[in-house]
A and B are shown apart, each in its own frame.
Chain A
Amino acid sequence: MAVPGSEIFFASITELNGMLRAKQTSVVELARAFGRRLETLGPRYNALALPLTERAIRQAKAVEGDIKRERYRGPLQGVPYGAKDLLSVAGQITAWGARPYAAQVFDYDATVVHKLEVVGAPLVGKLAMVELAGGPGYRYASASMTGPGLNPWDPSRWSGGSSSGSAIAVAAGMVPFAIGSETSGSILTPAAFCGVTALRPTYGMVSRYGAMPLSWTLDKLGPFCHSAEDCGLVLETIAGGDRHDPGSSGKSFYYAPQYARKMSDLRVGYAPADFSDWADEAARPAFQQALDTIRGLGVQMVETKLPDFPYGPTIGTIIAADAASIFEPLISNGKVEELADQKQIAGLKAGLEIPAHVYLTAMRVRRLAQQAIFKLFVDVDVLIAPNRPGPAPKIDTPLDQHPPGAPAKNPGLSALIPAGNLAGMPALSLPCGFAGNLPVAVQLVGLPFTENTLLAIGREYQSRTDWHKRRPPIPD
C-alpha cells in the first residue's frame, strides 16, 4: 500500500473513499498525512486551534479494522476532517477562540462530532475561529486568541470569519472537509473569501448540541468542502433530529441528486443591481459570468428583490441581546476584558442594556420579515446573489468601515445574508471566479429544507466551471 502523495490533499470525499476501498491508501495513512499537513500549515495561516493527529490515528486504526471486515459505513468512512473550535470534543480543550476559555474542557462530544465518529471520519484537529464566533460584532480580523485568519490566496488578506480556520483548512488542503457555524454570515463569508464551497443548512437541520451558543434561534452548523457534491454527503451525515437541541427540526436529510428537479423547471430570482451597482468593480465580471452560467443551465431567470425590512438592525438586536444573556457571567466576572477586540467587549456589555420591548419588537419584525420573504418564493424557487460584494479585505482593515457605494437606492438582494439567517433559510456558497488574485463567490438561497435543490444547481454549475478546483499558491 502506497504512502499517499500530495494529490490526495485536494481530492473529493468520493475520491478519497474510493481510494480507501480500492486499498490504494489506508485510513491511518490519510489521518497521518492530513494531520501532519494541518500541523505544518495550520499555524502559518492561524487556522489551527488544537491538533488531534494522534487521536485521529487511534480512530483511524479502529476504522481500518471495519474496512478490512467490509463493514462499510458510508462515503465519509476513513475521510479525515476538522471541526471549528466551538464544538466540544470530550476531554479536549474547547476554547471558542477566546482567551477567557483557553483551558475549557467538556466531558462530552458535540452531536456532529459524535455522528462523524460513528461513520468513521477521523477528527484531525480543532480549527481556529473568531472569538465567541464574533459575538455582537468585532472591528478587526485579529479578534481571536489564535490571531487573524490569513487567507491562503494572499496572507496579507483576511480569511473571513467567524469560521476562519474551517475555510482556510479546506482551501489549503489541510482537511478534505470541515465543520463551521453561522449565526449571520460566519459560514458564507469565509467560504467566499477563501474560495471554497460551503453550505449553511436550514435552521434546525443540524443539531447544535455541544456547540457554543451565540443566538438560540439563529445558530446553525454546516460543512466547508471542495464541492457541492461533498457538501451533500457531509450534510446527510450530520443532519437529523436531536432531543438535546431544543431548536432541532427533527428532520433528516438524504442527499438525492438523482431526484433533483429538472433545471428547466426551476425559477431563479436575482436582482441585476446586485451584480452591477452593489458589487465591487473588480468582481463584476466574475459575478456577471456566474449569472450567465446559471442562466445557461436552462433555468428561468426572474428579476426580484427582498421586501423592505431593517434586516441588519433586527438581527443585530437579537444577536446582541442573546449573546449578552449567554455571556453574562463572563461580563460580570470581569473576564470579558481578556477578549482581543474592544468592540466585541463593548458590544457584549451594551447588549445587557437592550430593553425587553426592543428585543421583542425585533423578534416580531423578524416574524413579519420571514413571512414576507417566503412570499417571494411564490414566483421563484431559488435566489442568487453575490455572496460578498468583493474579495477579502486587507488583514488590518477595520471591518466596520463599509465601502462607499453601498446600495442605498436599489438594495436588491444585498441584505440576503441577514435576511436568509433571520428566516432560517439554507444557503450554498459557490466560488465563481476572481477579483485580481482573490476568489469571489455567489450564494444560492432557498426555502427551508430545499438543500437538495440548491445542491443540484451547485452540482450543475460546478460541472460547467472549475472555480471550485482552483488551488491557492501554498509555499513549501
Chain B
Amino acid sequence: MKNRGSKGMTRRQLAGAVLATAAMAQTPPAAPANPEGELDAARQQNQRCSEALAKVQVPMEAEPAFHFSA
C-alpha cells in the first residue's frame, strides 16, 4: 500500500504540487495587456517598494540623503 499524504495524494504527487506552487511563486505576473493594466501594475510596484521601505527601522535622527556627497 502506498503511503498517502494529505487529501489522498501520494508523496510524489504532493512533492510535485509543492514544486509547481514554488515555480508559480517565482514566475512574474504576465505583462499587462493594456495601458490601464500597465498603470495598475506600476502602482502596485510602487506600493510593494513602499511596503519594503516601511519594514526598515529608521532612527529619527536619520536625515534624507539630499545633500548628497559620496
Q: Which residues of B contact A204 (CB under 8 A)?
A: 69-70
Of A249, A313, A366, the residue contacting B49 (CB under 8 A) is A313
Of B35, B43, B70, the residue contacting A424 (CB under 8 A) is B70
**B68, A353: Cβ atoms closer than 8 Å:** no
Question: Chain A's nearest CB lies how many Å from the CB of B28?
Answer: 5
Q: Which residues of A contact B35 (CB under 8 A)?
A: 342, 345-346
Of A320, A370, A449, the residue contacting B46 (CB under 8 A) is A320
**B28, A400: Cβ atoms closer than 8 Å:** yes
Known: A139-B31, A350-B42, A402-B28. A367 touches B65 (CB 8 A): yes
Question: Chain A's nearest CB lies how many Å from the CB of B38?
Answer: 4
Question: Chain B's nearest CB lies how many Å from the CB of A423?
Answer: 7
Known: A310-B52, A310-B56, A313-B48. A353 touches B43 (CB 8 A): yes
- Asked if B62 is at the interface (CB within 8 A of a chain A CB), the reply is yes
- Asked if B10 is at the interface (CB within 8 A of a chain A CB), the reply is no
Q: Which residues of B contact A310 (CB under 8 A)?
A: 49, 52-53, 55-56
**B70, A364: Cβ atoms closer than 8 Å:** no
Q: How far apart are the CA atoms of A317 and B56 in the complex, in Å?
A: 14
Question: Chain A's nearest CB lies how many Å from the CB of B39?
Answer: 5
Question: Chain B's nearest CB lies how many Å from the CB of A439?
Answer: 26
- Asked if A368 is at the interface (CB within 8 A of a chain B CB), the reply is yes
Closest 6 CB pairs of A and B: A424-B70, A363-B64, A350-B42, A346-B38, A313-B49, A448-B70
11 additional contacts, CB 8 Å, given A320-B49, A347-B42, A448-B70? A217-B65, A313-B48, A316-B49, A343-B41, A354-B50, A361-B50, A361-B54, A361-B58, A368-B62, A400-B31, A425-B70
- Residues of A at the B interface (CB closer than 8 Å) are 136-137, 139, 202-204, 217, 247, 249, 309-310, 312-314, 316-317, 320, 342-343, 345-347, 349-351, 353-355, 358, 360-368, 370, 398, 400-402, 404, 406, 423-425, 448-449
